[in-house]
Amino acid sequence: MYVHHDQAVVDRVLALVATGVPKLTIANDLGINVKTVRRWVATGGIRQPRREQCSGTTCRVREAVDRASYAYLLGMYLGDGHIVHTRRSFRLEIACDPKYPGIIEEAMDAIRGVLPANRVLARVRPHVVMVGVYSNHLPCLFPQHGPGLKHTRPIALEPWQTEIALDELPGPFIRGLVHSDGCRALNRVRGANGNEYEYPRYMFSNRSDDIRGLFVAACDRLGIASRRMNRWNQSVNDREGVRRLDEIVGAKY
């Protein structure tokens, strides 16, 4: 529970600290939590403002967001990301393959672009690196957050997200989607004459029909033709489409 202290008490604590009295002794003598004493010393007695809560309708972070970073991060979140509601805040985590340190660094840079005031975390676990950040603004930045797995519930972009990820910056959005749930591979085919040939293609795999639909919509914005391979996979096979995606996505690294 928060306890209000008069400015006189704060000034006395700072004066005692200046004379060399240990902080723990001051706290015990005055009946003040030692963490409070340490905070006053660290801030010069200035009370820090309470962490701003996001209203959802007029989010200052959303309005000031770096749009290219956001488009990429949205793609990563829809692919391999999730948001957890902790006791005091929300935590975004994106599962990254440790074989691709460049993608891990790009994901961390995107988070810094979206939430520049927040510390970016990278937790190394067996076979995966969890890139994440804590922020009360996450539900506003990613309104697709909800209970259950993403492929078990509807996923639709808000109008402001559509403006960024589809209308304005479909390239970074596709890059994030492919970096999380896509790949570039060689498809080998045996012709009618028995000869084998191969060609490159991009594949995007996600169990959510809605998320695959967003990949298709972003490709459509750039004039890239895609087709459904099977139940969970979408592909880009034609030479021009692959060339465009090579420019946008490049090799995983």
253 residues of the chain, pLDDT tens digit each: 445 667 788 888 888 988 889 999 998 998 888 888 887 787 666 554 444 455 555 677 788 889 999 999 999 999 999 999 888 889 999 999 999 999 999 999 999 999 998 999 999 988 999 999 999 999 999 999 988 889 889 999 999 999 999 999 999 999 999 999 999 888 777 766 777 878 889 999 999 999 999 999 999 999 999 999 898 999 999 999 999 999 999 877 6
**Distance in angstroms (rounded) separating the CA atoms of residues 63 and 55:** 12
Residue-range domain boundaries for the chain: 9-43, 60-154, 179-248
**Contacts for 124 with CB less than 8 Å, ≥ 6 apart:** 98
pTM: 0.75
Longest dimension (CA), the chain: 93
Fold (CATH) for 60-154: Endonuclease I-creI (3.10.28)
Cα 44–chain centre separation:
34
Tokens 């240990």 sit at which residue? 22
Task: From residue 25, give the alpha-carbon distance in Å to each of 7, 20, 28, 34, 178.
Answer: 20, 11, 5, 9, 57
Which CATH architecture fits 179-248?
Answer: Roll (3.10)
Q: Do domains 60-154 and 179-248 have the same CATH topology?
A: yes
The partner residues of 81 in beta bridges, in order of sequence, read 94
**Distance in angstroms (rounded) separating the CA atoms of residues 37 and 65:** 36
What 3-state DSSP class applies to 105? helix
Residue 180 is encoded by which pair of tokens? 């999380």
Tokens 């676990």 sit at which residue? 125
